[in-house]
Amino acid sequence: MTQTKFLKSARIAAAGLAVGAMLLTGCAATGNKSGGTDAAANASAFLTIPREDMGTFVQNFNPFAPTVNPMVQQSIYESLLVFNPAKGNTVPWLATDWKAADDGKSITFTLRDGVKWSDGQPFVADDVAYTFELQKKLKGGYEYLDGVTAQGNKVTFNFNKPWSPALSDVGQLSILPKHIWSALADPEKDANAKPVGTGPYTEVDNFQAQSFVLKKNPNYWQPDKQKIAGIKMLAFAGNDGANLAAANGDVDWAPQYIPNIEKTFVSKDKDHRHYWFPPTGAMINWQLNTTKAPFNDVDVRKALSMAVDRDQVTKIGMSGYAQPADCTGLSGNYETWKNTQVKDTCTWTKHDVQQANDLLDKAGYPKGADGKRTLKDGKPFEFKISVGATSSDWLSVANVISQNLAEVGVTAKVDSPDWAAVVAGYEKGDFDSGIVWSANDPSPYKYFNTTMGTASVKPVGTKASDNYHRFGDPKADALLSDFAAATDQSKQKDIANKLQEEYNDVAPLVPLFSGPEWGAYNDTRFTGWPTQDNPYATLSVRAPSTVLVLTSLEPRK
C-alpha cells in the first residue's frame, strides 16, 4: 500500500477539480489489475464474490436464520434435486431418482450412495426425514405432508392428499445432518458457527466482519468437481461498492444489478468479462386491487393492460434487461410450460391505445370534454400506483405506466413511500394498485394459485402474504386441484394449458415483464461459467442452481 503524507489543501482542491473535469468529459480511466494469468496462482485462488446487501457478516451459518449468510444454502447444505430454470431441467443431486405413487399421495426418493457429511459421517435416509421434521416444527408450512419415512437408502414422503407440486417443494430443501442438529438444545437459535454439510465448500476460514472464506469439504462426494480452492465472500453496504469492485476487476462473479453494464463493466476487458440475464426471475406484475371498483371489471383490467407500452417499460425502467410479458402471465422460468396458442393469439398484453380506448368506452367509462375519463359514479378515473421509494428501477416502471395511462384519459399517480408502508398497504388490501413480484417455482402451480386461486384470497383488512390483488376464480380452483392431483407430466401440461386459457380470459392482474436474474463474471481466473449457449445454471449466486456453477468452475490454466 502506498504510504502518503497528508496532502496539502491546494492539491486537494486541484484534485477535486480534476475529478469534476474527468466526470464531465466522461473519461474512463481504468484501474485494472494485471490479473493473474499465472496458472499456479489461479489454482490456489479463491472464487471471490461480493454480497451487496450486507455491510458486515456475523458468524452465523444457521439455515433457519431469516437473513441467512451467503452460500449456506448453496455451498454448505445441498438438496435432493436441483432445478435449473435456465434450461427448465431437473438435476438429480443427493437423490439419484424419485417416483410418485400412482395415487399421487406420496413420492419416494432413492438416495445417492457414498455421500458423506463434511465431518466424515455417512449421509443417511434418517437425515432427510429428520430435516423435514425439524423444518416443519420450527418453520411450519408443508401442511400437505403427513410424514416422512426412511428405509435403507429410500425416503418416502406421504401426503394427506394427492399433491404433485410437492416434488419441487421437498426436493429443494437443504438437508441437515441429524447427528449434529439433534444434539442442539435450541436449533433455531444456534449460530452453527462451524457448519457440517454435504456441499462442495463447507469449511469456514478466516471469518472477519467483512469477508470470509469457505474451503473445500474434505469428504465431498464429487471430489473431481472441487476444482477451485475455495470461495471468498466480500461484504458491501450497497450496489455501488460492489459494482466498483466488479469494474475494478477485484471479484470474479458479480451477481448484483449493474447499470449500463456494457460500458461500466464489459468494456474494460472485453475478452474476459461477460454477462447474461436470463428472464428466469419472478414475473413482475402491476397488481390492481380487485376489491375496488373499477378494477373488479375484467374489461378495465384488460384495457389498462393494453394501454401499457411494455417495450417502453422494459427499455426505460429496466435498462432493456427484461423481457415483456405475454398473456400466459408466465415468466421465462416456465418457458416449457407455456401454452403457445394463448401466447400467439395474445391481445391484452400488446400495446394498443385505440383498443384500450374502445374497451374503456364500451365498459362505461366515458371520456369527458377535458379528455379525462370518469368512473360510473361520476368521479374522475384516478388512482395510485404504489412502489417502494428505494426501488429506482420499478419506480421508473411505474412512471412509464402513469404516462401511458394518460394517453387513454386515466390519471395514475405514482406513490412512493418506504417499502414498509407499501407492503403494509398490500397486506391489508387498502391499496389501489402496485408493482409486485410473483411466486417463482419449478412448476407453475404456485403462480396460478396465488394469482387466481380462491384459497389465497384473504378478505380486506386481514393480512395477506400473497394474492395482494385479492382475485379468486372458482374455475381456476377446479383446474388447480386437478393439477395437484395429476402425477404424470403430460397431464399436468394439459391442465396448465387450460389454466393459461382461463388466465387469458379473466386477466387477474397485469403482467409486465419477466424479472431478469442478474449475473456477470470475469473469467480471468476461473473458466466454465454458464452462458446462453451452455445454460447449465443461471448466473445467480443465491439460487439453488448455484451449486451447479460451483462444481463446474475450474482455475484457468
Partner 1 sequence: MRFILRRLGFYLIAFWASITLNFLLPRFMPGDPVSRMFARSLDRMQPEQLEALRKLLGVDDRPIWEQYAGYLQNILTGQMGISITRFPTPVTEVISSQIGWTLLLGGTALVIAAVVGNLLGILAAWRRGSALDSALPPVLVFIGSFPYFWLAMGALYLFGVVLGWFPIRHAFTDGLEPAFTAEFIGDVGAHLVLPALTIVLVSIGGWMLGMRNTMIATNSEDYITMAEAKGLRPGRIMLRYAARNAMLPSVTSFGMGLGFVVGGALLTEVVFAYPGVGYQLLNAVQGLDYPLMQGLFLTITAAVLLANFLVDILYVRLDPRVRSN
> What 3-state class would DSSP assign to 150?
strand
Stretch that binds partner 1, among 19-27, 85-93, 146-154, 308-316 (CB under 8 A): 19-27
CA distance 94 to 115: 8
Residue in the structure block whose three cell numbers are 447474461? 276
Question: For partner 1, which residue of 229, 282, 346, 485 counts as binding (CB under 8 A)?
Answer: 282
- Least CB distance from residue 425 to partner 1, whole Å? 8
**Binding to partner 1 (CB under 8 A): which residues in 347-406?**
390
- Least CB distance from residue 349 to partner 1, whole Å? 21
Q: Name the packing angle between helices 445-452 and 474-485 (round to 10°).
A: 160
Q: Name the packing angle between helices 445-452 and 489-506 (round to 10°).
A: 30
Residue number with CB closer to partner 1 (138 or 460)? 138
Which grid coordinates belong to 522?
470475469
Question: For partner 1, which residue of 218, 238, 259, 320 counts as binding (CB under 8 A)?
Answer: 238
- Chain mean position to CA 11: 47
Residues 216, 222, 224, 227, CA torsion sign: negative
Interface with partner 1, residue 240, by CB under 8 A: yes
Interface with partner 1, residue 418, by CB under 8 A: yes
Contact 297, 506 (CB under 8 A): no
- Give, in degrees to the nearest 5, the angle at Cα 80 between 74 and 81: 75
Single-letter code of the amino acid located at 57: F
Question: For partner 1, which residue of 466, 473, 502, 517 counts as binding (CB under 8 A)?
Answer: 466
- Least CB distance from residue 221 to partner 1, whole Å? 26
Stretch that binds partner 1, among 137-145, 395-403, 485-493, 528-536 (CB under 8 A): 137-145
CA distance 30 to 488: 55
Interface with partner 1, residue 439, by CB under 8 A: yes
CA distance 327 to 403: 22
CA distance 89 to 86: 8
Interface with partner 1, residue 420, by CB under 8 A: yes
Question: For partner 1, which residue of 37, 44, 89, 208 counts as binding (CB under 8 A)?
Answer: 208
Residue number with CB closer to partner 1 (206 or 490)? 206
- Least CB distance from residue 1 to partner 1, whole Å? 4
Interface with partner 1, residue 56, by CB under 8 A: yes
Interface with partner 1, residue 542, by CB under 8 A: yes
Instruction: Assign residue 470 a region (left: φ > 0; alpha: ψ between -120 and 50; beta: otherwise).
Output: left
Interface with partner 1, residue 267, by CB under 8 A: no
- Give, in degrees to the nearest 5, the angle at Cα 442 between 151 and 123: 30
126, 224, 246, 475 from 38: Cα distances, Å:
46, 22, 20, 63
Interface with partner 1, residue 259, by CB under 8 A: no
> What 3-state class would DSSP assign to 520?
strand
Residue number with CB closer to partner 1 (17 or 478)? 17
Stretch that binds partner 1, among 1-9, 145-153, 354-362, 533-541 (CB under 8 A): 1-9
CA distance 251 to 299: 50
Interface with partner 1, residue 241, by CB under 8 A: yes
Interface with partner 1, residue 440, by CB under 8 A: yes
Residue number with CB closer to partner 1 (72 or 125)? 72
**Binding to partner 1 (CB under 8 A): which residues in 212-231?**
213
Number of shown-chain residues binding partner 1 (CB under 8 A): 69
- Give, in degrees to the nearest 5, the angle at Cα 446 between 442 and 452: 145
Cis check for the bond before 70: say yes or no (omega within 30 of 0).
Answer: no
Interface with partner 1, residue 9, by CB under 8 A: yes
Contacts with partner 1, residue ranges (CB under 8 A): 1-4, 7, 9, 12-13, 15-16, 18-20, 22-23, 29, 31, 55-56, 58, 60, 62, 65-67, 138-141, 143, 188-191, 206, 208-211, 213, 232, 234-238, 240-241, 244-245, 248, 282, 390, 418-421, 423-425, 427, 437-440, 463, 465-466, 542
